[in-house]
Amino acid sequence: MKLFKTLFILVLAVIILQSFKKDHVNIWMIGDSTMAPKKKEAFPELGWGVALSNFIKSDVTIHNHAVNGRSTLSFINENGWKNVCDSIQPGDYVIIQFGHNDQKPKPDRHTEPFGSFKDNLKKFIAEARSHKATPVLCSSIVRRHFNGKGNLVDTHKDYIIATKQVATETATDYVDMEKLTRKLVLDMGPQGSKTIYNFTDKKQDSTHLNVEGANVVAKLFVDDAQKRKLPIAKYFKTKK
């Protein structure tokens, strides 16, 4: 009888623990047009956040809340962040990538790299953690801007430095997408790199990715997370 009671207690404990186990994980993505989903008429333009769904395991759902033209400031002021923050569950992940539009002069978008930009990134990180989620901070992907000598121009400057500083100061997992995409574009060269950006007969776009580019860049994120064994990496399919 004593053995039976002991076994009963152990089974009951396992059942209780299983009831609290989180089987499904959400990955929330916040950022700008280089990450965002697109309308059909924008084809073949596509944000790399959309392509990330090709690399996740079956028990993961990606919620891509990145929006064209948004900076950290406008994303907050338009309640984009509030909508995400109100939906985050313990154990979720939040991938954060801004910078493209924060450097623009429009007052509803502009932030200072070592001022309000850093403050806003820290807000995302702190509030994600307050909901027991894990933030992952990314630098902006590189713009395909070559000069006349074939050198790739640094168009983000202090915003990349500021993003890395925030990651260090807040002990946040950091994926340097600017560095990864810079190497990719340099290796492909001025002409070859056109194949991953939104170059069509009607548009010559060196900022936004096409479908192929979105998949290539999403894989860069996955490969880097797996290589450095970031916690989010366990939710991606094993490399073949």
Structural domain includes residue 36: yes
Structural domain includes residue 10: no
pLDDT tens, position by position, 98-138: 999 999 999 999 999 999 999 999 999 999 999 999 999 99
Q: Kindly state the tokens that stand for 155.
A: 């168009």
Specify the pairing of strand 93-97 against strand 173-175: unpaired
pLDDT tens, position by position, 41-69: 999 999 999 999 999 999 999 999 999 99
Q: Kindly state the tokens that stand for 168.
A: 């260090």
Range of the domain at 39: 25-235
* Angle between helical axes of 177-192 and 211-227 (0-180°, round to 10): 140
Q: What predicted TM-score, i.e. pTM, was given to this entire model? A: 0.89
pLDDT tens, position by position, 66-79: 999 999 999 999 99
Structural domain includes residue 115: yes
Structural domain includes residue 213: yes
Structural domain includes residue 80: yes
Q: What CATH number is associated with residue 33?
A: 3.40.50.1110
Structural domain includes residue 18: no
For residue 165, what is the enclosing H or E element? helix 158-169
Using pLDDT thresholds of 50, 70 and 90, give the confidence band for residue 150.
confident
pLDDT tens, position by position, 208-221: 999 999 999 999 99
What's the number of domains the chain is made of? 1
